[in-house]
Chain A
Protein backbone atom coordinates (compact mmCIF):
# COMPACT_ATOMS: atom_id res chain seq x y z
CA UNK A 1 0.00 0.00 0.00
CA UNK A 2 2.75 2.39 0.94
CA UNK A 3 5.66 3.46 -1.17
CA UNK A 4 3.64 4.37 -4.26
CA UNK A 5 4.16 7.96 -5.24
CA UNK A 6 6.07 9.12 -2.19
CA UNK A 7 4.80 10.22 1.19
CA UNK A 8 1.35 11.76 1.65
CA UNK A 9 2.54 14.27 4.22
CA UNK A 10 6.13 15.28 4.68
CA UNK A 11 7.75 17.98 6.76
CA UNK A 12 11.35 19.04 6.85
CA UNK A 13 12.77 21.10 9.67
CA UNK A 14 9.37 22.74 10.08
CA UNK A 15 9.23 25.90 12.17
CA UNK A 16 5.89 27.51 12.95
CA UNK A 17 5.17 30.66 14.94
CA UNK A 18 1.84 32.02 16.09
CA UNK A 19 1.77 35.69 16.96
CA UNK A 20 5.54 35.78 17.33
CA UNK A 21 5.65 32.77 19.66
CA UNK A 22 7.43 29.66 18.49
CA UNK A 23 4.97 26.77 18.47
CA UNK A 24 6.75 24.11 16.44
CA UNK A 25 10.49 23.75 16.09
CA UNK A 26 12.46 21.65 13.68
CA UNK A 27 9.83 19.01 12.89
CA UNK A 28 10.82 16.45 10.27
CA UNK A 29 8.73 13.40 9.48
CA UNK A 30 7.01 11.61 6.62
CA UNK A 31 3.65 9.85 6.58
CA UNK A 32 3.13 7.25 3.89
CA UNK A 33 -0.05 6.33 2.05
CA UNK A 34 -2.11 3.93 4.12
CA UNK A 35 -0.55 5.01 7.40
CA UNK A 36 -2.61 5.47 10.54
CA UNK A 37 -0.86 8.01 12.73
CA UNK A 38 -1.92 9.23 16.14
CA UNK A 39 -0.59 12.68 17.02
CA UNK A 40 -0.20 12.95 20.77
CA UNK A 41 1.21 15.57 23.11
CA UNK A 42 0.32 17.73 26.11
CA UNK A 43 -1.86 20.84 25.93
CA UNK A 44 -0.22 23.59 23.95
CA UNK A 45 2.26 21.23 22.35
CA UNK A 46 1.28 22.34 18.85
CA UNK A 47 -0.84 19.40 17.69
CA UNK A 48 -3.64 21.49 16.23
CA UNK A 49 -1.13 23.96 14.83
CA UNK A 50 0.65 21.11 13.07
CA UNK A 51 -2.60 19.94 11.52
CA UNK A 52 -3.45 23.45 10.38
CA UNK A 53 0.02 23.84 8.90
CA UNK A 54 -0.38 20.59 6.97
CA UNK A 55 -3.67 21.98 5.62
CA UNK A 56 -2.14 25.31 4.67
CA UNK A 57 -4.11 27.46 7.13
CA UNK A 58 -0.82 28.52 8.67
CA UNK A 59 2.38 29.21 6.75
CA UNK A 60 5.59 28.01 8.37
CA UNK A 61 8.29 30.60 9.10
CA UNK A 62 11.00 28.14 8.07
CA UNK A 63 11.31 24.61 6.74
CA UNK A 64 8.96 22.78 4.43
CA UNK A 65 5.62 21.06 4.62
CA UNK A 66 4.29 19.03 1.71
CA UNK A 67 0.98 17.43 0.86
CA UNK A 68 1.62 14.80 -1.83
CA UNK A 69 4.80 16.70 -2.57
CA UNK A 70 3.06 20.06 -2.95
CA UNK A 71 3.00 23.14 -0.78
CA UNK A 72 -0.43 22.94 0.90
CA UNK A 73 -0.99 26.64 0.36
CA UNK A 74 -0.81 26.05 -3.38
CA UNK A 75 -2.53 22.65 -3.24
CA UNK A 76 -5.75 22.45 -5.24
CA UNK A 77 -6.86 18.84 -5.21
CA UNK A 78 -8.80 19.06 -1.93
CA UNK A 79 -11.19 16.35 -3.03
CA UNK A 80 -8.61 13.84 -1.78
CA UNK A 81 -8.66 15.30 1.73
CA UNK A 82 -11.19 15.08 4.53
CA UNK A 83 -10.73 17.29 7.58
CA UNK A 84 -12.59 17.22 10.86
CA UNK A 85 -11.78 20.33 12.91
CA UNK A 86 -11.88 20.51 16.66
CA UNK A 87 -15.49 21.29 17.46
CA UNK A 88 -15.86 24.87 18.50
CA UNK A 89 -18.87 26.91 19.53
CA UNK A 90 -20.82 26.00 16.40
CA UNK A 91 -24.04 26.52 18.29
CA UNK A 92 -23.47 30.21 17.61
CA UNK A 93 -23.90 29.44 13.93
CA UNK A 94 -26.43 31.94 12.62
CA UNK A 95 -27.40 29.95 9.58
CA UNK A 96 -30.30 27.48 9.89
CA UNK A 97 -28.02 24.79 8.48
CA UNK A 98 -29.36 21.24 8.84
CA UNK A 99 -27.24 18.15 9.44
CA UNK A 100 -28.15 16.91 5.98
CA UNK A 101 -27.04 20.18 4.43
CA UNK A 102 -23.80 20.15 6.42
CA UNK A 103 -22.94 16.66 5.25
CA UNK A 104 -23.84 17.42 1.65
CA UNK A 105 -21.38 20.33 1.71
CA UNK A 106 -18.64 17.76 2.17
CA UNK A 107 -19.46 16.32 -1.21
CA UNK A 108 -20.91 19.19 -3.18
CA UNK A 109 -19.08 22.34 -2.11
CA UNK A 110 -16.06 23.21 -4.18
CA UNK A 111 -17.40 21.43 -7.25
CA UNK A 112 -18.13 23.11 -10.50
CA UNK A 113 -21.79 22.47 -11.32
CA UNK A 114 -22.53 20.30 -8.29
CA UNK A 115 -25.97 19.42 -9.61
CA UNK A 116 -24.60 17.14 -12.31
CA UNK A 117 -23.01 14.82 -9.80
CA UNK A 118 -25.89 14.89 -7.38
CA UNK A 119 -27.32 11.51 -8.24
CA UNK A 120 -24.27 9.68 -6.95
CA UNK A 121 -23.84 12.11 -4.08
CA UNK A 122 -27.16 11.18 -2.48
CA UNK A 123 -26.03 7.63 -1.78
CA UNK A 124 -22.68 8.69 -0.32
CA UNK A 125 -24.38 11.25 1.89
CA UNK A 126 -26.91 8.72 3.16
CA UNK A 127 -24.16 6.20 3.82
CA UNK A 128 -22.10 8.73 5.77
CA UNK A 129 -25.11 9.80 7.84
CA UNK A 130 -25.79 6.15 8.50
CA UNK A 131 -22.19 5.36 9.45
CA UNK A 132 -22.11 8.13 12.03
CA UNK A 133 -25.65 7.30 13.16
CA UNK A 134 -27.07 10.73 12.48
CA UNK A 135 -29.61 9.77 9.81
CA UNK A 136 -32.49 10.59 12.10
CA UNK A 137 -31.00 14.04 12.76
CA UNK A 138 -30.64 14.91 9.06
CA UNK A 139 -33.43 17.51 9.14
CA UNK A 140 -32.37 19.02 12.45
CA UNK A 141 -30.54 22.31 12.66
CA UNK A 142 -26.85 21.93 13.48
CA UNK A 143 -27.01 24.72 16.05
CA UNK A 144 -29.63 22.80 18.02
CA UNK A 145 -27.47 19.70 18.49
CA UNK A 146 -25.33 18.62 21.41
CA UNK A 147 -21.56 18.68 21.14
CA UNK A 148 -21.31 14.97 20.47
CA UNK A 149 -24.01 15.09 17.80
CA UNK A 150 -22.26 18.00 16.11
CA UNK A 151 -19.05 16.07 16.15
CA UNK A 152 -20.73 13.09 14.52
CA UNK A 153 -22.22 15.38 11.86
CA UNK A 154 -18.77 16.82 11.10
CA UNK A 155 -17.32 13.32 10.91
CA UNK A 156 -20.09 12.32 8.52
CA UNK A 157 -19.24 15.33 6.36
CA UNK A 158 -15.62 14.20 6.11
CA UNK A 159 -16.54 10.55 5.50
CA UNK A 160 -18.98 11.49 2.73
CA UNK A 161 -16.05 12.85 0.76
CA UNK A 162 -14.48 9.40 0.62
CA UNK A 163 -11.07 10.97 1.16
CA UNK A 164 -7.66 9.41 0.56
CA UNK A 165 -6.34 11.35 3.53
CA UNK A 166 -8.41 11.89 6.64
CA UNK A 167 -7.17 14.47 9.16
CA UNK A 168 -9.02 14.72 12.44
CA UNK A 169 -8.50 17.01 15.39
CA UNK A 170 -9.63 15.37 18.61
CA UNK A 171 -12.59 13.71 16.89
CA UNK A 172 -13.57 11.69 19.93
CA UNK A 173 -13.51 14.49 22.51
CA UNK A 174 -17.30 14.85 22.74
CA UNK A 175 -18.30 11.29 21.90
CA UNK A 176 -19.80 8.95 24.45
CA UNK A 177 -17.79 5.77 25.12
CA UNK A 178 -19.94 3.35 23.15
CA UNK A 179 -20.06 5.57 20.08
CA UNK A 180 -16.34 6.23 20.43
CA UNK A 181 -15.67 2.54 20.03
CA UNK A 182 -17.93 2.40 16.97
CA UNK A 183 -16.16 5.44 15.54
CA UNK A 184 -12.71 3.94 16.00
CA UNK A 185 -13.80 0.76 14.29
CA UNK A 186 -15.29 2.70 11.36
CA UNK A 187 -12.04 4.61 10.87
CA UNK A 188 -10.04 1.42 11.17
CA UNK A 189 -12.11 -0.19 8.44
CA UNK A 190 -11.50 2.82 6.16
CA UNK A 191 -7.81 2.48 6.83
CA UNK A 192 -7.49 -1.25 6.30
CA UNK A 193 -10.09 -1.79 3.57
CA UNK A 194 -9.91 1.43 1.55
CA UNK A 195 -6.30 2.25 2.31
CA UNK A 196 -7.30 5.68 3.64
CA UNK A 197 -4.39 7.48 5.28
CA UNK A 198 -5.51 8.56 8.74
CA UNK A 199 -3.94 11.29 10.87
CA UNK A 200 -5.65 11.82 14.19
CA UNK A 201 -4.83 14.33 16.91
CA UNK A 202 -5.93 12.89 20.21
CA UNK A 203 -5.75 13.38 23.94
CA UNK A 204 -6.52 9.75 24.38
CA UNK A 205 -3.20 7.95 23.81
CA UNK A 206 -4.41 4.89 25.68
CA UNK A 207 -7.12 4.21 23.09
CA UNK A 208 -5.25 5.35 20.01
CA UNK A 209 -2.67 2.71 20.84
CA UNK A 210 -5.26 0.05 20.04
CA UNK A 211 -5.88 1.31 16.53
CA UNK A 212 -3.16 3.55 15.11
CA UNK A 213 -0.02 2.02 13.69
CA UNK A 214 2.26 4.92 14.37
CA UNK A 215 2.61 7.47 17.08
CA UNK A 216 3.81 11.02 16.61
CA UNK A 217 4.54 12.53 19.98
CA UNK A 218 5.26 16.23 19.86
CA UNK A 219 5.91 18.84 22.49
CA UNK A 220 6.73 21.82 20.31
CA UNK A 221 9.52 19.67 18.96
CA UNK A 222 9.39 16.08 17.83
CA UNK A 223 9.71 13.76 20.80
CA UNK A 224 8.96 10.46 19.12
CA UNK A 225 7.83 9.21 15.76
CA UNK A 226 7.55 5.54 14.99
CA UNK A 227 5.42 2.46 15.50
CA UNK A 228 3.83 1.73 18.83
CA UNK A 229 6.05 -1.28 19.22
CA UNK A 230 9.14 0.86 18.90
CA UNK A 231 7.67 3.33 21.32
CA UNK A 232 6.94 0.75 23.94
CA UNK A 233 10.35 -0.87 23.70
CA UNK A 234 12.22 2.40 23.70
CA UNK A 235 14.24 2.91 26.85
CA UNK A 236 14.63 6.54 25.83
CA UNK A 237 10.87 7.01 25.90
CA UNK A 238 10.64 5.22 29.21
CA UNK A 239 13.10 7.75 30.51
CA UNK A 240 11.24 10.64 28.94
CA UNK A 241 7.78 9.74 30.16
CA UNK A 242 8.50 7.60 33.13
CA UNK A 243 7.59 3.96 32.82
CA UNK A 244 4.11 4.37 34.22
CA UNK A 245 2.94 6.66 31.44
CA UNK A 246 4.71 4.68 28.78
CA UNK A 247 2.90 1.62 29.98
CA UNK A 248 -0.39 3.41 30.01
CA UNK A 249 0.01 4.25 26.35
CA UNK A 250 1.18 0.71 25.68
CA UNK A 251 -1.53 -1.01 27.74
CA UNK A 252 0.95 -2.90 29.80
CA UNK A 253 0.11 -1.49 33.18
CA UNK A 254 -1.49 -3.50 35.93
CA UNK A 255 -1.97 -6.62 33.82
CA UNK A 256 -5.41 -7.23 32.31
CA UNK A 257 -7.77 -4.29 32.26
CA UNK A 258 -8.48 -2.76 28.94
CA UNK A 259 -5.18 -3.57 27.37
CA UNK A 260 -5.35 -7.29 27.96
CA UNK A 261 -8.95 -7.49 26.89
CA UNK A 262 -8.37 -5.74 23.61
CA UNK A 263 -5.23 -7.68 23.02
CA UNK A 264 -7.09 -10.96 22.98
CA UNK A 265 -9.97 -9.68 20.91
CA UNK A 266 -7.91 -7.96 18.26
CA UNK A 267 -6.80 -10.64 15.91
CA UNK A 268 -6.46 -8.92 12.59
CA UNK A 269 -5.46 -5.49 13.69
CA UNK A 270 -2.16 -6.61 15.08
CA UNK A 271 -1.61 -3.42 16.97
CA UNK A 272 -1.45 -3.89 20.71
CA UNK A 273 -0.26 -7.47 21.05
CA UNK A 274 3.39 -6.98 21.52
CA UNK A 275 5.32 -9.14 23.99
CA UNK A 276 5.26 -7.74 27.48
CA UNK A 277 8.93 -7.43 28.22
CA UNK A 278 8.81 -4.52 30.61
CA UNK A 279 9.98 -5.21 34.11
CA UNK A 280 7.39 -3.13 35.93
Chain B
Protein backbone atom coordinates (compact mmCIF):
# COMPACT_ATOMS: atom_id res chain seq x y z
CA UNK B 1 0.00 0.00 0.00
CA UNK B 2 1.10 3.47 -0.87
CA UNK B 3 0.35 4.60 2.69
CA UNK B 4 3.47 2.88 3.88
CA UNK B 5 5.90 4.70 1.61
CA UNK B 6 4.52 8.10 2.54
CA UNK B 7 4.64 7.21 6.21
CA UNK B 8 8.42 6.87 6.08
CA UNK B 9 8.68 10.53 5.11
CA UNK B 10 5.94 11.77 7.44
CA UNK B 11 6.89 10.10 10.71
CA UNK B 12 10.29 11.71 11.25
CA UNK B 13 8.75 15.12 10.60
CA UNK B 14 6.15 14.62 13.29
CA UNK B 15 3.31 14.40 10.87
CA UNK B 16 2.43 10.90 11.99
CA UNK B 17 -1.13 11.81 12.74
CA UNK B 18 -1.73 13.27 9.31
CA UNK B 19 -3.74 10.16 8.44
CA UNK B 20 -5.77 10.42 11.61
CA UNK B 21 -6.58 14.05 10.86
CA UNK B 22 -7.46 13.45 7.26
CA UNK B 23 -9.47 10.40 8.19
CA UNK B 24 -11.61 12.34 10.63
CA UNK B 25 -11.89 15.12 8.15
CA UNK B 26 -13.13 12.62 5.62
CA UNK B 27 -16.06 11.82 7.85
CA UNK B 28 -17.19 15.40 7.47
CA UNK B 29 -16.80 15.27 3.71
CA UNK B 30 -18.63 11.97 3.42
CA UNK B 31 -21.40 13.30 5.66
CA UNK B 32 -21.66 16.30 3.39
CA UNK B 33 -21.75 14.20 0.24
CA UNK B 34 -24.36 11.82 1.63
CA UNK B 35 -26.43 14.75 2.86
CA UNK B 36 -26.67 16.10 -0.66
CA UNK B 37 -27.00 12.65 -2.14
CA UNK B 38 -23.67 12.70 -4.03
CA UNK B 39 -21.37 9.78 -4.58
CA UNK B 40 -18.73 10.27 -1.84
CA UNK B 41 -15.47 9.31 -3.56
CA UNK B 42 -15.29 12.02 -6.27
CA UNK B 43 -15.91 14.65 -3.58
CA UNK B 44 -13.69 13.01 -1.02
CA UNK B 45 -10.44 12.91 -2.99
CA UNK B 46 -10.15 16.63 -3.85
CA UNK B 47 -11.49 17.61 -0.43
CA UNK B 48 -8.78 15.59 1.35
CA UNK B 49 -6.06 17.04 -0.85
CA UNK B 50 -7.29 20.49 0.17
CA UNK B 51 -7.37 19.42 3.83
CA UNK B 52 -3.78 18.16 3.56
CA UNK B 53 -2.73 21.55 2.19
CA UNK B 54 -4.60 23.35 5.00
CA UNK B 55 -2.74 21.27 7.60
CA UNK B 56 0.60 21.98 5.94
CA UNK B 57 -0.22 25.65 5.64
CA UNK B 58 -1.33 25.99 9.25
CA UNK B 59 1.78 24.32 10.56
CA UNK B 60 4.17 26.17 8.23
CA UNK B 61 2.92 29.52 9.48
CA UNK B 62 4.92 28.64 12.58
CA UNK B 63 1.90 29.57 14.63
CA UNK B 64 1.10 25.96 15.29
CA UNK B 65 2.91 22.69 15.60
CA UNK B 66 2.06 20.06 13.04
CA UNK B 67 0.06 18.02 15.51
CA UNK B 68 -2.04 20.99 16.66
CA UNK B 69 -2.88 21.85 13.06
CA UNK B 70 -3.89 18.25 12.43
CA UNK B 71 -6.06 18.20 15.53
CA UNK B 72 -7.93 21.29 14.50
CA UNK B 73 -8.62 20.20 10.95
CA UNK B 74 -9.62 16.75 12.20
CA UNK B 75 -12.24 17.75 14.75
CA UNK B 76 -13.67 20.43 12.49
CA UNK B 77 -14.25 17.88 9.75
CA UNK B 78 -15.61 15.33 12.18
CA UNK B 79 -17.99 17.82 13.81
CA UNK B 80 -19.36 18.95 10.46
CA UNK B 81 -19.90 15.33 9.43
CA UNK B 82 -21.80 14.45 12.58
CA UNK B 83 -23.89 17.61 12.40
CA UNK B 84 -24.91 16.87 8.84
CA UNK B 85 -25.58 13.24 9.58
CA UNK B 86 -27.85 14.11 12.51
CA UNK B 87 -29.78 16.78 10.60
CA UNK B 88 -30.18 14.23 7.82
CA UNK B 89 -32.05 10.98 8.25
CA UNK B 90 -30.45 9.98 11.49
CA UNK B 91 -27.08 8.23 11.63
CA UNK B 92 -26.61 6.91 8.19
CA UNK B 93 -25.60 3.32 7.48
CA UNK B 94 -23.42 4.48 4.61
CA UNK B 95 -21.53 6.81 6.88
CA UNK B 96 -20.82 3.93 9.26
CA UNK B 97 -19.28 1.96 6.41
CA UNK B 98 -16.90 4.87 5.82
CA UNK B 99 -16.06 5.09 9.51
CA UNK B 100 -14.95 1.49 9.82
CA UNK B 101 -14.38 0.57 6.22
CA UNK B 102 -15.94 -2.23 4.28
CA UNK B 103 -13.64 -4.01 1.96
CA UNK B 104 -16.49 -5.94 0.36
CA UNK B 105 -18.16 -2.67 -0.57
CA UNK B 106 -15.15 -1.61 -2.63
CA UNK B 107 -16.33 -1.47 -6.20
CA UNK B 108 -14.43 -2.45 -9.32
CA UNK B 109 -13.88 1.18 -10.30
CA UNK B 110 -12.63 1.98 -6.83
CA UNK B 111 -10.03 -0.77 -6.96
CA UNK B 112 -8.94 0.63 -10.31
CA UNK B 113 -8.54 4.03 -8.71
CA UNK B 114 -6.41 2.62 -5.91
CA UNK B 115 -4.24 0.70 -8.37
CA UNK B 116 -3.60 3.86 -10.38
CA UNK B 117 -2.92 5.77 -7.19
CA UNK B 118 -0.42 3.19 -6.02
CA UNK B 119 1.52 3.52 -9.27
CA UNK B 120 1.38 7.29 -8.85
CA UNK B 121 2.78 7.22 -5.31
CA UNK B 122 5.57 4.81 -6.18
CA UNK B 123 6.40 6.88 -9.26
CA UNK B 124 6.44 10.17 -7.38
CA UNK B 125 8.54 8.65 -4.61
CA UNK B 126 11.06 7.51 -7.20
CA UNK B 127 11.18 10.88 -8.97
CA UNK B 128 11.40 12.96 -5.80
CA UNK B 129 13.27 10.39 -3.71
CA UNK B 130 16.39 12.45 -2.96
CA UNK B 131 14.39 15.64 -2.50
CA UNK B 132 12.03 13.98 -0.05
CA UNK B 133 14.90 12.49 1.94
CA UNK B 134 16.68 15.85 2.03
CA UNK B 135 13.58 17.66 3.29
CA UNK B 136 12.97 15.02 5.91
CA UNK B 137 16.53 15.31 7.17
CA UNK B 138 16.62 19.10 7.33
CA UNK B 139 14.06 21.29 5.67
CA UNK B 140 16.14 24.46 5.87
CA UNK B 141 19.28 22.91 4.49
CA UNK B 142 17.47 21.11 1.71
CA UNK B 143 16.68 24.51 0.22
CA UNK B 144 20.36 25.31 -0.29
CA UNK B 145 20.83 21.87 -1.80
CA UNK B 146 18.52 23.24 -4.47
CA UNK B 147 15.37 21.38 -3.45
CA UNK B 148 12.13 23.11 -4.35
CA UNK B 149 10.64 22.59 -0.90
CA UNK B 150 7.24 24.02 -1.75
CA UNK B 151 6.84 21.80 -4.79
CA UNK B 152 7.87 18.60 -3.04
CA UNK B 153 5.66 19.37 -0.04
CA UNK B 154 2.76 20.00 -2.37
CA UNK B 155 3.35 16.69 -4.11
CA UNK B 156 3.46 14.97 -0.74
CA UNK B 157 0.21 16.64 0.37
CA UNK B 158 -1.61 15.63 -2.82
CA UNK B 159 -0.43 12.05 -2.49
CA UNK B 160 -1.46 11.79 1.15
CA UNK B 161 -4.87 13.27 0.46
CA UNK B 162 -5.49 10.82 -2.35
CA UNK B 163 -4.11 7.84 -0.45
CA UNK B 164 -6.25 8.44 2.61
CA UNK B 165 -9.31 9.01 0.45
CA UNK B 166 -8.94 5.66 -1.25
CA UNK B 167 -7.72 3.79 1.83
CA UNK B 168 -10.79 4.78 3.80
CA UNK B 169 -12.95 2.42 1.76
CA UNK B 170 -10.86 -0.49 2.98
CA UNK B 171 -9.95 0.17 6.58
CA UNK B 172 -12.23 3.06 7.46
CA UNK B 173 -11.76 6.67 8.44
CA UNK B 174 -11.04 5.88 12.05
CA UNK B 175 -8.35 3.31 11.32
CA UNK B 176 -6.62 4.67 8.21
CA UNK B 177 -3.79 6.22 10.18
CA UNK B 178 -2.87 2.70 11.28
CA UNK B 179 -1.77 1.94 7.73
CA UNK B 180 0.12 5.20 7.51
CA UNK B 181 1.93 4.87 10.83
CA UNK B 182 2.48 1.18 11.60
CA UNK B 183 4.38 -0.01 8.52
CA UNK B 184 6.61 3.06 8.54
CA UNK B 185 7.24 2.86 12.27
CA UNK B 186 8.04 -0.85 11.96
CA UNK B 187 10.45 -0.17 9.12
CA UNK B 188 12.21 2.62 11.02
CA UNK B 189 12.84 0.11 13.81
CA UNK B 190 14.72 -2.38 11.71
CA UNK B 191 15.97 -0.72 8.53
CA UNK B 192 19.64 0.18 8.15
CA UNK B 193 19.08 2.83 5.50
CA UNK B 194 16.34 5.05 4.12
CA UNK B 195 16.04 2.98 0.99
CA UNK B 196 15.75 -0.13 3.12
CA UNK B 197 13.08 1.50 5.26
CA UNK B 198 10.92 2.15 2.20
CA UNK B 199 11.11 -1.46 1.11
CA UNK B 200 10.42 -2.83 4.58
CA UNK B 201 7.47 -0.46 5.05
CA UNK B 202 5.91 -1.49 1.75
CA UNK B 203 6.44 -5.16 2.55
CA UNK B 204 4.94 -4.83 6.03
CA UNK B 205 1.90 -3.02 4.66
CA UNK B 206 1.22 -5.58 1.95
CA UNK B 207 1.73 -8.45 4.37
CA UNK B 208 -0.52 -6.83 6.96
CA UNK B 209 -3.32 -6.20 4.50
CA UNK B 210 -3.09 -9.75 3.19
CA UNK B 211 -2.88 -11.18 6.72
CA UNK B 212 -5.72 -9.02 7.94
CA UNK B 213 -8.02 -10.00 5.14
CA UNK B 214 -7.17 -13.67 5.62
CA UNK B 215 -7.97 -13.37 9.34
CA UNK B 216 -11.18 -11.56 8.52
CA UNK B 217 -12.38 -14.40 6.30
CA UNK B 218 -11.15 -17.06 8.67
CA UNK B 219 -12.75 -15.74 11.84
CA UNK B 220 -15.50 -13.66 10.27
CA UNK B 221 -14.02 -10.45 11.61
CA UNK B 222 -14.42 -7.03 10.03
CA UNK B 223 -11.47 -6.52 7.64
CA UNK B 224 -10.38 -3.00 8.63
CA UNK B 225 -9.72 -3.69 12.30
CA UNK B 226 -8.05 -7.04 11.56
CA UNK B 227 -5.61 -5.33 9.17
CA UNK B 228 -4.68 -2.79 11.81
CA UNK B 229 -4.30 -5.47 14.49
CA UNK B 230 -1.99 -7.45 12.20
CA UNK B 231 -0.04 -4.21 11.66
CA UNK B 232 0.32 -3.88 15.40
CA UNK B 233 1.65 -7.42 15.67
CA UNK B 234 4.20 -6.70 12.94
CA UNK B 235 5.29 -3.55 14.76
CA UNK B 236 5.86 -5.38 18.03
CA UNK B 237 7.80 -8.00 16.10
CA UNK B 238 9.96 -5.35 14.46
CA UNK B 239 10.68 -3.64 17.77
CA UNK B 240 11.75 -6.95 19.28
CA UNK B 241 13.87 -7.72 16.23
CA UNK B 242 15.43 -4.27 16.26
CA UNK B 243 16.27 -4.52 19.94
CA UNK B 244 17.73 -7.97 19.60
CA UNK B 245 19.91 -6.98 16.67
CA UNK B 246 21.48 -3.76 17.82
CA UNK B 247 21.40 -0.99 20.39
CA UNK B 248 17.92 0.42 20.71
CA UNK B 249 17.29 3.66 18.93
CA UNK B 250 14.00 5.45 19.33
CA UNK B 251 12.12 5.89 16.09
CA UNK B 252 8.71 7.19 15.18
User: Interface residues, chain A, CB within 8 Å of chain B?
Assistant: 55-57, 76, 78-79, 81, 83, 85, 93-98, 100-102, 104-106, 108-111, 113-115, 139, 141, 143-144, 161
Contact = CB atoms under 8 A, between A and B. Distances in A.
A97 B133 contact: yes
B131 A85 contact: no
A-B CB proximity, top 4 nearest: A110-B146, A94-B12, A78-B146, A109-B134
Contacts of A55: 144
B141 A101 contact: no
B35 interface: no
B193 A96 contact: yes
B251 interface: yes
A50 to B, nearest CB: 15
A145 to B, nearest CB: 12
Interface of B: 8, 11-12, 126-127, 129-131, 133-134, 136-138, 140-148, 188, 191-197, 249-252
Given A94-B11, A96-B188, A111-B130, A78 B194 contact: no
A206 to B, nearest CB: 29
Given A55-B144, A109-B145, A110-B146, A96 B133 contact: no
A95 B188 contact: yes
A113 B142 contact: no
Contact of A95 (B136, B142, B146): B136
Contacts of B249: 141, 143-144
Contacts of A108: 130
Given A81-B144, A105-B145, A98 B194 contact: yes
Interface centre among B8, B136, B145, B146 (most CB of A within 10 A): B145
A105 B251 contact: no
B196 to A, nearest CB: 7
Contacts, number: 91
A104 B251 CA distance: 23
A93 B12 contact: yes
Q: Is the interface of B mostly helix, strand, loop or mixed?
A: helix
B148 A57 contact: no
B197 A110 contact: no
Interface centre among B12, B136, B141, B188 (most CB of A within 10 A): B141
Contacts of B140: 57
Given A78-B145, A95-B197, A109 B188 contact: no
A96 B196 contact: yes
Nearest to A88: B138
Nearest to B135: A109
A131 B126 CA distance: 29
Contacts of B131: 109-110
B82 to A, nearest CB: 35
Nearest to A98: B193
Contact of A109 (B146, B192, B196, B251): B146
5 contacts: A95-B133, A98-B192, A98-B194, A110-B148, A141-B193
A108 B12 CA distance: 21
A113 B144 contact: no
Given A93-B12, A94-B12, A110-B146, A101 B195 contact: yes
Given A57-B140, A110-B146, A94 B188 contact: yes
Given A98-B193, A139-B193, 17 more contacts: A57-B143, A95-B137, A96-B197, A96-B251, A97-B133, A101-B194, A105-B145, A109-B130, A109-B134, A110-B130, A110-B142, A110-B145, A113-B127, A115-B126, A139-B192, A141-B249, A143-B249
Contacts of B146: 76, 78-79, 109-111
B130 A141 contact: no
B130 A104 contact: yes
A97 B137 contact: yes
B176 to A, nearest CB: 22
A102 B197 CA distance: 15
A93 B143 CA distance: 18
B144 A83 contact: yes
B133 A109 contact: yes
A135 B137 CA distance: 21
Contacts of A111: 130, 146
Contacts of A56: 143-144
Nearest to A72: B144
Contacts of A102: 137
A85 B144 CA distance: 11
A223 B46 CA distance: 56
Nearest to B187: A96
B155 to A, nearest CB: 13
